[in-house]
Structure 1
Amino acid sequence: MLRNITPGTASRLTIVDHHETYGRHILQRHIQKIDILKCLDLGCGDGEDLLIVKQHHTNAQCIGIDYGSWNFEKLIQMGINPISVNIENQSLPFNDESIDFIIANQVLEHTKEIFWINHEIFRTLRIGGYLYLGVPNVLSFHNRLLGLFGVHPTSAKLISAHVRVFSKNDTISFYKNIAGRFTHIEKFSGSQFYPFPKKIARSLSNVLPSLAFSIFFLIRKTEDYKAEFIDWLIKTPLETNFFTGENNNSSF
Protein backbone atom coordinates (compact mmCIF):
# COMPACT_ATOMS: atom_id res chain seq x y z
CA MET A 1 0.00 0.00 0.00
CA LEU A 2 2.95 2.30 0.67
CA ARG A 3 6.18 2.68 -1.30
CA ASN A 4 9.56 4.09 -0.43
CA ILE A 5 10.20 7.48 -2.09
CA THR A 6 12.41 10.49 -1.69
CA PRO A 7 10.40 12.86 0.56
CA GLY A 8 8.58 15.61 -1.33
CA THR A 9 8.81 14.00 -4.77
CA ALA A 10 5.70 11.80 -5.11
CA SER A 11 2.92 10.10 -3.22
CA ARG A 12 3.71 7.00 -1.18
CA LEU A 13 0.29 5.46 -1.87
CA THR A 14 0.23 2.57 -4.33
CA ILE A 15 -3.53 1.94 -4.45
CA VAL A 16 -4.40 5.27 -6.09
CA ASP A 17 -4.17 6.09 -9.80
CA HIS A 18 -1.78 9.04 -9.83
CA HIS A 19 -2.86 10.08 -13.33
CA GLU A 20 -6.12 11.26 -11.76
CA THR A 21 -4.17 14.09 -10.13
CA TYR A 22 -3.94 15.83 -13.52
CA GLY A 23 -7.68 15.68 -14.23
CA ARG A 24 -7.23 15.07 -17.94
CA HIS A 25 -10.71 13.58 -18.22
CA ILE A 26 -11.99 16.99 -17.07
CA LEU A 27 -9.94 18.82 -19.70
CA GLN A 28 -11.23 16.45 -22.36
CA ARG A 29 -14.82 17.18 -21.35
CA HIS A 30 -14.37 20.95 -21.41
CA ILE A 31 -12.56 21.41 -24.71
CA GLN A 32 -15.14 19.58 -26.79
CA LYS A 33 -17.46 22.60 -26.58
CA ILE A 34 -14.83 25.31 -27.12
CA ASP A 35 -13.46 26.63 -30.42
CA ILE A 36 -9.68 26.37 -30.28
CA LEU A 37 -7.37 27.47 -33.07
CA LYS A 38 -4.38 28.39 -30.90
CA CYS A 39 -3.65 26.72 -27.57
CA LEU A 40 -0.89 27.42 -25.08
CA ASP A 41 0.20 25.14 -22.23
CA LEU A 42 2.23 26.72 -19.42
CA GLY A 43 4.53 24.14 -17.88
CA CYS A 44 3.66 21.67 -20.61
CA GLY A 45 5.96 18.85 -19.47
CA ASP A 46 5.75 15.99 -21.96
CA GLY A 47 2.68 17.45 -23.70
CA GLU A 48 -0.11 15.16 -22.48
CA ASP A 49 -2.64 17.99 -22.05
CA LEU A 50 -1.86 19.38 -25.50
CA LEU A 51 -2.31 15.94 -27.04
CA ILE A 52 -5.86 15.93 -25.71
CA VAL A 53 -6.47 19.31 -27.37
CA LYS A 54 -5.03 18.02 -30.66
CA GLN A 55 -7.30 14.97 -30.58
CA HIS A 56 -10.41 17.16 -30.52
CA HIS A 57 -9.11 20.14 -32.50
CA THR A 58 -6.91 18.67 -35.22
CA ASN A 59 -6.21 22.04 -36.86
CA ALA A 60 -5.29 23.82 -33.64
CA GLN A 61 -1.79 25.25 -33.24
CA CYS A 62 -0.49 23.83 -29.97
CA ILE A 63 2.37 25.55 -28.16
CA GLY A 64 4.16 24.19 -25.11
CA ILE A 65 5.90 26.54 -22.68
CA ASP A 66 8.51 25.26 -20.24
CA TYR A 67 11.66 26.68 -18.67
CA GLY A 68 13.83 23.80 -19.90
CA SER A 69 14.28 22.07 -23.25
CA TRP A 70 14.51 18.44 -22.10
CA ASN A 71 11.16 17.50 -23.75
CA PHE A 72 11.56 19.61 -26.91
CA GLU A 73 12.44 16.77 -29.29
CA LYS A 74 9.51 14.67 -28.10
CA LEU A 75 7.11 17.62 -28.31
CA ILE A 76 8.17 18.44 -31.88
CA GLN A 77 7.56 14.82 -32.90
CA MET A 78 4.06 15.14 -31.45
CA GLY A 79 3.33 18.23 -33.56
CA ILE A 80 3.70 20.63 -30.65
CA ASN A 81 5.73 23.83 -30.90
CA PRO A 82 7.95 24.07 -27.79
CA ILE A 83 9.21 27.40 -26.44
CA SER A 84 11.49 27.99 -23.46
CA VAL A 85 10.21 30.83 -21.25
CA ASN A 86 10.61 31.57 -17.56
CA ILE A 87 7.01 32.51 -16.90
CA GLU A 88 7.92 34.20 -13.59
CA ASN A 89 10.00 37.01 -15.07
CA GLN A 90 9.62 36.93 -18.87
CA SER A 91 6.82 37.99 -21.17
CA LEU A 92 5.03 35.39 -23.24
CA PRO A 93 6.16 35.86 -26.87
CA PHE A 94 2.66 36.45 -28.22
CA ASN A 95 0.56 39.43 -29.19
CA ASP A 96 -2.30 40.71 -27.07
CA GLU A 97 -5.51 38.68 -27.39
CA SER A 98 -3.93 36.10 -29.71
CA ILE A 99 -4.57 32.83 -27.80
CA ASP A 100 -7.87 30.93 -27.62
CA PHE A 101 -7.14 28.52 -24.78
CA ILE A 102 -4.44 28.55 -22.09
CA ILE A 103 -3.67 25.57 -19.88
CA ALA A 104 -1.96 25.95 -16.49
CA ASN A 105 -2.31 22.46 -15.02
CA GLN A 106 -0.29 21.67 -11.89
CA VAL A 107 2.16 24.53 -12.49
CA LEU A 108 1.15 27.61 -10.46
CA GLU A 109 1.88 25.82 -7.18
CA HIS A 110 5.53 25.85 -8.33
CA THR A 111 5.62 29.63 -8.73
CA LYS A 112 5.87 32.78 -6.65
CA GLU A 113 4.97 35.37 -9.31
CA ILE A 114 1.27 34.64 -9.62
CA PHE A 115 0.41 38.28 -10.42
CA TRP A 116 2.86 38.52 -13.34
CA ILE A 117 1.88 35.12 -14.70
CA ASN A 118 -1.81 36.00 -14.69
CA HIS A 119 -1.00 39.38 -16.22
CA GLU A 120 0.60 37.60 -19.17
CA ILE A 121 -2.18 35.00 -19.38
CA PHE A 122 -4.96 37.55 -19.68
CA ARG A 123 -2.93 39.91 -21.85
CA THR A 124 -2.49 37.19 -24.48
CA LEU A 125 -5.87 35.48 -24.09
CA ARG A 126 -8.53 36.67 -26.51
CA ILE A 127 -11.89 37.94 -25.32
CA GLY A 128 -14.07 34.84 -25.19
CA GLY A 129 -11.04 32.62 -24.62
CA TYR A 130 -10.46 30.38 -21.62
CA LEU A 131 -7.92 29.65 -18.92
CA TYR A 132 -7.98 26.05 -17.73
CA LEU A 133 -6.40 26.11 -14.26
CA GLY A 134 -5.53 22.99 -12.27
CA VAL A 135 -3.87 23.15 -8.83
CA PRO A 136 -3.40 20.94 -5.75
CA ASN A 137 -5.99 21.52 -3.03
CA VAL A 138 -4.52 22.29 0.38
CA LEU A 139 -8.01 21.73 1.87
CA SER A 140 -8.54 18.31 0.32
CA PHE A 141 -10.18 15.57 2.37
CA HIS A 142 -6.92 13.85 3.25
CA ASN A 143 -5.13 17.13 4.07
CA ARG A 144 -7.91 18.08 6.47
CA LEU A 145 -7.61 14.72 8.22
CA LEU A 146 -3.84 15.04 8.42
CA GLY A 147 -4.21 18.49 9.98
CA LEU A 148 -6.25 17.05 12.84
CA PHE A 149 -3.20 15.00 13.82
CA GLY A 150 -0.71 17.82 13.32
CA VAL A 151 0.59 16.49 10.01
CA HIS A 152 1.56 19.04 7.35
CA PRO A 153 -0.45 19.06 4.05
CA THR A 154 1.14 16.73 1.51
CA SER A 155 0.78 19.33 -1.27
CA ALA A 156 2.82 21.99 0.54
CA LYS A 157 5.86 20.36 2.13
CA LEU A 158 8.92 22.58 2.49
CA ILE A 159 11.06 19.78 1.06
CA SER A 160 8.97 19.63 -2.13
CA ALA A 161 8.92 21.73 -5.31
CA HIS A 162 5.68 23.48 -4.35
CA VAL A 163 5.85 27.07 -3.11
CA ARG A 164 2.15 28.03 -3.10
CA VAL A 165 -1.07 26.53 -1.80
CA PHE A 166 -4.56 26.76 -3.27
CA SER A 167 -8.13 26.02 -2.23
CA LYS A 168 -11.49 26.54 -3.92
CA ASN A 169 -12.71 29.65 -2.09
CA ASP A 170 -9.33 31.37 -1.92
CA THR A 171 -8.73 30.88 -5.65
CA ILE A 172 -12.21 32.17 -6.48
CA SER A 173 -11.57 35.18 -4.21
CA PHE A 174 -8.29 35.94 -6.00
CA TYR A 175 -9.92 36.09 -9.43
CA LYS A 176 -13.10 37.76 -8.20
CA ASN A 177 -11.26 40.60 -6.45
CA ILE A 178 -8.67 41.27 -9.13
CA ALA A 179 -10.24 40.00 -12.33
CA GLY A 180 -13.97 40.10 -11.65
CA ARG A 181 -14.56 42.81 -14.25
CA PHE A 182 -13.16 40.83 -17.16
CA THR A 183 -13.46 37.16 -16.18
CA HIS A 184 -16.10 34.61 -15.27
CA ILE A 185 -15.46 31.24 -13.61
CA GLU A 186 -17.71 28.95 -15.63
CA LYS A 187 -16.79 25.53 -14.23
CA PHE A 188 -15.32 24.12 -11.04
CA SER A 189 -14.28 20.46 -10.79
CA GLY A 190 -12.21 18.09 -8.68
CA SER A 191 -10.10 15.03 -9.40
CA GLN A 192 -8.19 12.49 -7.32
CA PHE A 193 -9.41 11.63 -3.85
CA TYR A 194 -6.78 10.21 -1.51
CA PRO A 195 -6.53 7.48 -0.34
CA PHE A 196 -9.05 5.79 -2.65
CA PRO A 197 -8.52 3.89 -5.93
CA LYS A 198 -9.61 5.43 -9.23
CA LYS A 199 -13.23 4.26 -9.41
CA ILE A 200 -14.10 5.44 -5.91
CA ALA A 201 -11.93 8.55 -6.16
CA ARG A 202 -13.61 9.71 -9.34
CA SER A 203 -17.09 9.26 -7.85
CA LEU A 204 -16.16 11.13 -4.68
CA SER A 205 -14.51 13.93 -6.68
CA ASN A 206 -17.66 14.36 -8.75
CA VAL A 207 -19.85 14.64 -5.63
CA LEU A 208 -17.39 16.54 -3.40
CA PRO A 209 -15.06 18.44 -5.75
CA SER A 210 -13.92 20.93 -3.09
CA LEU A 211 -12.49 18.00 -1.10
CA ALA A 212 -10.60 16.45 -4.03
CA PHE A 213 -6.81 16.38 -4.14
CA SER A 214 -6.72 18.53 -7.32
CA ILE A 215 -9.17 21.30 -8.18
CA PHE A 216 -9.85 22.75 -11.62
CA PHE A 217 -11.31 26.04 -12.82
CA LEU A 218 -12.49 26.95 -16.32
CA ILE A 219 -12.19 30.74 -16.46
CA ARG A 220 -13.55 32.73 -19.40
CA LYS A 221 -12.19 36.12 -20.40
CA THR A 222 -15.27 38.26 -21.00
CA GLU A 223 -13.81 41.73 -21.62
CA ASP A 224 -10.54 43.43 -22.50
CA TYR A 225 -7.74 43.25 -19.96
CA LYS A 226 -6.31 46.50 -18.57
CA ALA A 227 -3.34 45.28 -16.49
CA GLU A 228 -5.43 44.75 -13.36
CA PHE A 229 -3.03 42.14 -11.94
CA ILE A 230 -0.12 44.58 -12.01
CA ASP A 231 -2.27 47.50 -10.89
CA TRP A 232 -3.39 45.46 -7.87
CA LEU A 233 0.19 45.41 -6.58
CA ILE A 234 0.45 49.17 -6.98
CA LYS A 235 -2.90 49.97 -5.37
CA THR A 236 -2.61 47.31 -2.65
CA PRO A 237 1.02 47.22 -1.44
CA LEU A 238 2.16 43.79 -0.28
CA GLU A 239 5.32 43.17 1.73
CA THR A 240 6.85 40.91 -0.91
CA ASN A 241 8.99 41.95 -3.86
CA PHE A 242 6.62 40.71 -6.56
CA PHE A 243 7.78 41.10 -10.14
CA THR A 244 5.72 43.62 -12.13
CA GLY A 245 7.57 43.78 -15.45
CA GLU A 246 10.95 44.24 -17.09
CA ASN A 247 10.96 48.02 -16.57
CA ASN A 248 9.03 48.10 -13.34
CA ASN A 249 10.49 45.57 -10.93
CA SER A 250 9.60 47.19 -7.64
CA SER A 251 9.23 45.94 -4.10
CA PHE A 252 5.85 46.33 -2.47
Structure 2
Amino acid sequence: MTTSAPPEKPRELRDFYEDPAVPVASGTPRSLRQARMLAAAIGTGAEKTPRTILDIGCGDGSAAAVAAPLLKGHRIIGVDWSQDALRRARTRLALTPVRGELTGGGLPFKDESADAVLFSEVVEHLVNPDAALDEIRRVLRPGGHLMLSTPNLAAWYNRALLLAGVQPVFSEVSLRAIHGRPGKEVVGHLRLYTARALKEFVAASGFEVVRLAGAPFHGVPRPLRPLDRLACSRPSLASILLLHAQKSPARKT
Protein backbone atom coordinates (compact mmCIF):
# COMPACT_ATOMS: atom_id res chain seq x y z
CA MET A 1 0.00 0.00 0.00
CA THR A 2 1.38 3.40 -0.89
CA THR A 3 0.44 6.76 0.48
CA SER A 4 0.67 10.06 -1.28
CA ALA A 5 2.36 13.07 0.22
CA PRO A 6 0.06 15.56 1.92
CA PRO A 7 -0.89 18.52 -0.25
CA GLU A 8 1.30 21.57 0.04
CA LYS A 9 -0.09 24.15 2.45
CA PRO A 10 -1.58 27.09 0.52
CA ARG A 11 0.65 30.14 0.55
CA GLU A 12 -0.71 33.26 2.17
CA LEU A 13 -0.26 36.47 0.16
CA ARG A 14 2.00 38.01 2.81
CA ASP A 15 4.21 34.91 2.85
CA PHE A 16 4.29 34.97 -0.95
CA TYR A 17 5.61 38.54 -1.11
CA GLU A 18 8.14 37.98 1.67
CA ASP A 19 9.72 35.18 -0.37
CA PRO A 20 13.07 36.46 -1.74
CA ALA A 21 12.50 34.36 -4.88
CA VAL A 22 9.41 36.37 -5.86
CA PRO A 23 10.29 39.09 -8.41
CA VAL A 24 9.95 42.62 -6.96
CA ALA A 25 11.19 44.64 -9.94
CA SER A 26 10.02 45.26 -13.49
CA GLY A 27 11.95 46.05 -16.61
CA THR A 28 14.01 49.23 -16.99
CA PRO A 29 12.24 50.44 -20.19
CA ARG A 30 8.91 50.68 -18.35
CA SER A 31 10.48 52.47 -15.37
CA LEU A 32 12.28 54.91 -17.65
CA ARG A 33 9.18 55.77 -19.66
CA GLN A 34 7.19 56.29 -16.49
CA ALA A 35 9.89 58.51 -14.96
CA ARG A 36 10.00 60.62 -18.11
CA MET A 37 6.23 61.14 -17.92
CA LEU A 38 6.52 62.32 -14.32
CA ALA A 39 9.52 64.55 -15.04
CA ALA A 40 7.59 66.21 -17.87
CA ALA A 41 4.73 66.88 -15.45
CA ILE A 42 6.67 68.31 -12.49
CA GLY A 43 10.11 69.26 -13.83
CA THR A 44 13.23 68.98 -11.67
CA GLY A 45 13.74 70.36 -8.19
CA ALA A 46 16.37 72.73 -9.55
CA GLU A 47 13.77 74.34 -11.80
CA LYS A 48 10.85 74.36 -9.37
CA THR A 49 10.10 73.87 -5.70
CA PRO A 50 11.28 70.39 -4.63
CA ARG A 51 8.40 67.92 -4.52
CA THR A 52 7.68 64.83 -2.42
CA ILE A 53 7.25 61.70 -4.54
CA LEU A 54 6.04 58.42 -3.05
CA ASP A 55 7.07 55.22 -4.81
CA ILE A 56 4.30 52.99 -3.45
CA GLY A 57 5.11 49.32 -3.85
CA CYS A 58 8.75 50.24 -4.40
CA GLY A 59 9.98 46.64 -4.31
CA ASP A 60 13.77 46.56 -4.37
CA GLY A 61 13.98 50.26 -5.28
CA SER A 62 15.07 49.71 -8.86
CA ALA A 63 12.30 51.86 -10.37
CA ALA A 64 13.21 54.77 -8.07
CA ALA A 65 16.87 54.33 -8.96
CA VAL A 66 15.97 54.66 -12.66
CA ALA A 67 13.74 57.69 -11.98
CA ALA A 68 16.10 59.59 -9.66
CA PRO A 69 18.39 61.07 -12.36
CA LEU A 70 15.33 62.50 -14.13
CA LEU A 71 13.86 63.88 -10.91
CA LYS A 72 16.87 65.62 -9.42
CA GLY A 73 16.11 67.86 -6.48
CA HIS A 74 12.90 66.06 -5.56
CA ARG A 75 12.55 63.70 -2.60
CA ILE A 76 11.62 60.11 -3.43
CA ILE A 77 10.26 57.97 -0.60
CA GLY A 78 9.83 54.24 -1.19
CA VAL A 79 6.92 52.44 0.44
CA ASP A 80 6.32 48.69 0.59
CA TRP A 81 4.72 46.16 2.95
CA SER A 82 7.37 43.51 2.29
CA GLN A 83 10.22 43.61 4.79
CA ASP A 84 12.40 41.65 2.38
CA ALA A 85 11.80 44.18 -0.41
CA LEU A 86 12.57 47.09 1.92
CA ARG A 87 15.83 45.48 2.98
CA ARG A 88 16.86 45.38 -0.66
CA ALA A 89 15.61 48.91 -1.28
CA ARG A 90 17.80 50.26 1.53
CA THR A 91 20.87 49.36 -0.52
CA ARG A 92 19.86 51.97 -3.10
CA LEU A 93 20.60 55.60 -2.36
CA ALA A 94 17.84 56.94 -4.59
CA LEU A 95 15.09 56.64 -2.01
CA THR A 96 14.16 56.53 1.66
CA PRO A 97 12.25 53.28 2.27
CA VAL A 98 9.40 53.06 4.79
CA ARG A 99 6.85 50.37 5.58
CA GLY A 100 3.17 50.93 4.83
CA GLU A 101 -0.01 49.35 3.52
CA LEU A 102 -2.69 50.54 1.14
CA THR A 103 -5.81 49.97 3.21
CA GLY A 104 -7.45 51.78 6.11
CA GLY A 105 -5.03 54.68 6.39
CA GLY A 106 -2.07 52.32 6.26
CA LEU A 107 0.23 54.77 4.51
CA PRO A 108 2.28 56.59 7.18
CA PHE A 109 1.72 60.05 5.68
CA LYS A 110 -0.58 62.95 6.47
CA ASP A 111 -3.49 63.94 4.27
CA GLU A 112 -2.44 65.89 1.16
CA SER A 113 1.27 65.59 1.96
CA ALA A 114 2.59 64.21 -1.34
CA ASP A 115 2.96 65.84 -4.74
CA ALA A 116 3.18 62.68 -6.81
CA VAL A 117 2.83 58.90 -6.51
CA LEU A 118 4.62 56.28 -8.56
CA PHE A 119 2.44 53.16 -8.53
CA SER A 120 4.36 50.69 -10.66
CA GLU A 121 3.15 47.14 -11.24
CA VAL A 122 1.21 47.09 -7.95
CA VAL A 123 -2.51 47.39 -8.66
CA GLU A 124 -2.62 43.97 -10.34
CA HIS A 125 -1.52 42.37 -7.04
CA LEU A 126 -4.21 43.88 -4.83
CA VAL A 127 -7.28 42.27 -3.32
CA ASN A 128 -8.92 45.70 -2.90
CA PRO A 129 -7.66 48.17 -5.54
CA ASP A 130 -10.50 50.58 -4.75
CA ALA A 131 -9.25 51.07 -1.19
CA ALA A 132 -5.72 51.51 -2.53
CA LEU A 133 -6.67 54.39 -4.82
CA ASP A 134 -8.70 55.95 -2.00
CA GLU A 135 -5.59 55.89 0.18
CA ILE A 136 -3.41 57.31 -2.61
CA ARG A 137 -5.94 60.05 -3.17
CA ARG A 138 -5.89 60.85 0.55
CA VAL A 139 -2.14 61.49 0.65
CA LEU A 140 -1.96 63.42 -2.65
CA ARG A 141 -2.33 67.18 -2.69
CA PRO A 142 -5.06 68.63 -4.96
CA GLY A 143 -3.77 68.36 -8.49
CA GLY A 144 -1.16 65.82 -7.38
CA HIS A 145 0.10 63.35 -9.97
CA LEU A 146 -0.50 59.60 -10.11
CA MET A 147 1.79 57.58 -12.38
CA LEU A 148 0.34 54.07 -12.55
CA SER A 149 1.64 51.16 -14.59
CA THR A 150 0.16 47.70 -14.95
CA PRO A 151 0.18 44.79 -17.45
CA ASN A 152 -2.35 44.99 -20.27
CA LEU A 153 -4.80 42.10 -20.38
CA ALA A 154 -5.49 42.97 -24.03
CA ALA A 155 -1.82 43.08 -25.11
CA TRP A 156 -1.35 42.12 -28.76
CA TYR A 157 -0.13 38.58 -28.00
CA ASN A 158 -2.81 37.95 -25.37
CA ARG A 159 -5.48 38.51 -28.00
CA ALA A 160 -3.92 35.78 -30.12
CA LEU A 161 -3.45 33.45 -27.15
CA LEU A 162 -7.11 33.73 -26.14
CA LEU A 163 -8.21 32.91 -29.68
CA ALA A 164 -6.08 29.77 -29.40
CA GLY A 165 -7.61 28.87 -26.04
CA VAL A 166 -4.44 29.67 -24.07
CA GLN A 167 -4.43 31.47 -20.72
CA PRO A 168 -3.22 35.08 -21.28
CA VAL A 169 0.24 36.17 -20.22
CA PHE A 170 0.19 38.03 -16.86
CA SER A 171 -2.87 36.09 -15.64
CA GLU A 172 -2.46 33.45 -12.93
CA VAL A 173 -4.64 30.78 -11.39
CA SER A 174 -2.30 29.66 -8.59
CA LEU A 175 0.41 30.97 -6.26
CA ARG A 176 2.24 27.64 -6.50
CA ALA A 177 2.90 27.16 -10.20
CA ILE A 178 2.18 28.35 -13.73
CA HIS A 179 -0.80 26.65 -15.35
CA GLY A 180 -2.01 27.04 -18.92
CA ARG A 181 0.00 30.09 -19.96
CA PRO A 182 3.50 30.93 -21.24
CA GLY A 183 6.12 31.92 -18.68
CA LYS A 184 8.06 30.40 -15.80
CA GLU A 185 7.60 32.77 -12.84
CA VAL A 186 4.63 33.03 -10.50
CA VAL A 187 4.25 36.72 -9.69
CA GLY A 188 0.93 36.90 -7.84
CA HIS A 189 -1.37 38.81 -10.19
CA LEU A 190 -4.96 39.08 -8.93
CA ARG A 191 -6.36 41.86 -11.15
CA LEU A 192 -5.84 42.60 -14.82
CA TYR A 193 -6.94 45.65 -16.83
CA THR A 194 -7.51 46.64 -20.42
CA ALA A 195 -6.77 50.24 -21.40
CA ARG A 196 -10.44 51.16 -21.26
CA ALA A 197 -11.04 49.47 -17.90
CA LEU A 198 -8.01 51.14 -16.35
CA LYS A 199 -9.05 54.62 -17.42
CA GLU A 200 -12.61 54.11 -16.19
CA PHE A 201 -11.41 52.67 -12.86
CA VAL A 202 -9.01 55.54 -12.16
CA ALA A 203 -11.55 58.19 -13.17
CA ALA A 204 -14.18 56.64 -10.90
CA SER A 205 -11.70 56.84 -8.01
CA GLY A 206 -11.49 60.63 -8.12
CA PHE A 207 -8.74 61.26 -10.67
CA GLU A 208 -8.64 62.97 -14.04
CA VAL A 209 -6.81 60.92 -16.65
CA VAL A 210 -4.18 63.04 -18.40
CA ARG A 211 -2.49 60.50 -20.64
CA LEU A 212 -2.30 56.78 -21.38
CA ALA A 213 0.84 55.39 -23.00
CA GLY A 214 2.33 51.96 -23.67
CA ALA A 215 5.58 50.29 -22.67
CA PRO A 216 7.31 47.04 -23.70
CA PHE A 217 7.52 43.90 -21.55
CA HIS A 218 10.97 42.55 -20.75
CA GLY A 219 9.67 38.97 -20.83
CA VAL A 220 8.74 39.00 -24.52
CA PRO A 221 10.99 36.59 -26.50
CA ARG A 222 13.83 38.46 -28.19
CA PRO A 223 12.69 37.84 -31.81
CA LEU A 224 9.32 39.45 -30.98
CA ARG A 225 10.65 42.50 -29.15
CA PRO A 226 10.64 44.82 -32.19
CA LEU A 227 6.93 44.04 -32.63
CA ASP A 228 6.34 44.63 -28.92
CA ARG A 229 8.02 48.03 -29.11
CA LEU A 230 5.95 48.89 -32.17
CA ALA A 231 2.76 48.03 -30.27
CA CYS A 232 3.62 50.74 -27.71
CA SER A 233 2.35 53.33 -30.20
CA ARG A 234 -1.13 51.87 -29.61
CA PRO A 235 -1.57 51.69 -25.82
CA SER A 236 -4.59 49.40 -26.15
CA LEU A 237 -2.26 46.81 -27.74
CA ALA A 238 0.90 47.45 -25.68
CA SER A 239 2.27 45.00 -23.14
CA ILE A 240 2.30 47.51 -20.30
CA LEU A 241 -0.13 50.39 -19.66
CA LEU A 242 1.34 53.66 -18.34
CA LEU A 243 -1.31 56.02 -17.01
CA HIS A 244 -0.83 59.61 -15.84
CA ALA A 245 -3.69 61.07 -13.80
CA GLN A 246 -4.19 63.99 -11.45
CA LYS A 247 -6.21 64.18 -8.27
CA SER A 248 -9.54 65.85 -8.99
CA PRO A 249 -10.54 68.83 -6.83
CA ALA A 250 -13.59 66.98 -5.57
CA ARG A 251 -14.40 63.26 -5.46
CA LYS A 252 -16.70 62.22 -8.29
CA THR A 253 -19.82 60.36 -7.23
Q: TM-score, normalised by structure 1?
A: 0.73
Q: Report which stretch shifted further, 131-140 or 82-91.
A: 82-91
Deviations, residues 48-91 of structure 1 (Å, cap 9, x unaligned): 22123321233222111111222434433433211122324552
1:188 aligns to 2:215 (yes or no): no
1:218 aligns to 2:225 (yes or no): no
Equivalent residue number for residue 228 of structure 2: 201
Distance 1:129 1:200, change over 3 A: same
Alignment of 1:37-52 (within 5 A): 37-52=51-66
Check conservation: 2:36, 2:70, Cα contact below 8 A: no
1:67 aligns to 2:107 (yes or no): no
Distance 1:28 1:177, change over 3 A: closer
Cα distance in 1 for partners of 2:116, 2:232 equals 24
Equivalent residue number for residue 38 of structure 2: 31
Q: CA deviation at 1:25?
A: 2.8
Alignment equivalent of 1:148, drawn from 163, 167, 177: 163
Equivalent residue number for residue 199 of structure 2: 172
Check conservation: 1:40, 1:103, Cα contact below 8 A: yes
Equivalent residue number for residue 19 of structure 1: 27
Q: Report the aligned-residue RMSD.
A: 2.4
Residue identity matched to 1:221: K
Which segments of 5 or more consecutive residues in structure 2 lack a partner in the other structure? 1-21, 43-49, 175-185
Residue identity matched to 1:145: A
Q: Report which stretch shifted further, 100-109 or 63-72.
A: 63-72
Distance 1:147 1:74, change over 3 A: closer
Residue identity matched to 2:55: D
How many pairs are equivalent?
207
Percent identity of equivalent pairs: 25
Deviations, residues 169-199 of structure 1 (Å, cap 9, x unaligned): 11112233342xxx21111111126455444
Residue identity matched to 1:173: E
Which segments of 5 or more consecutive residues in structure 1 lack a partner in the other structure? 1-8, 11-17, 233-252
Q: CA deviation at 1:113?
A: 1.0
Cα distance in 1 for partners of 2:140, 2:173 equals 33
Deviations, residues 97-130 of structure 1 (Å, cap 9, x unaligned): 1111101111111111111101110010111211
Cα distance in 2 for partners of 1:177, 1:118 equals 10
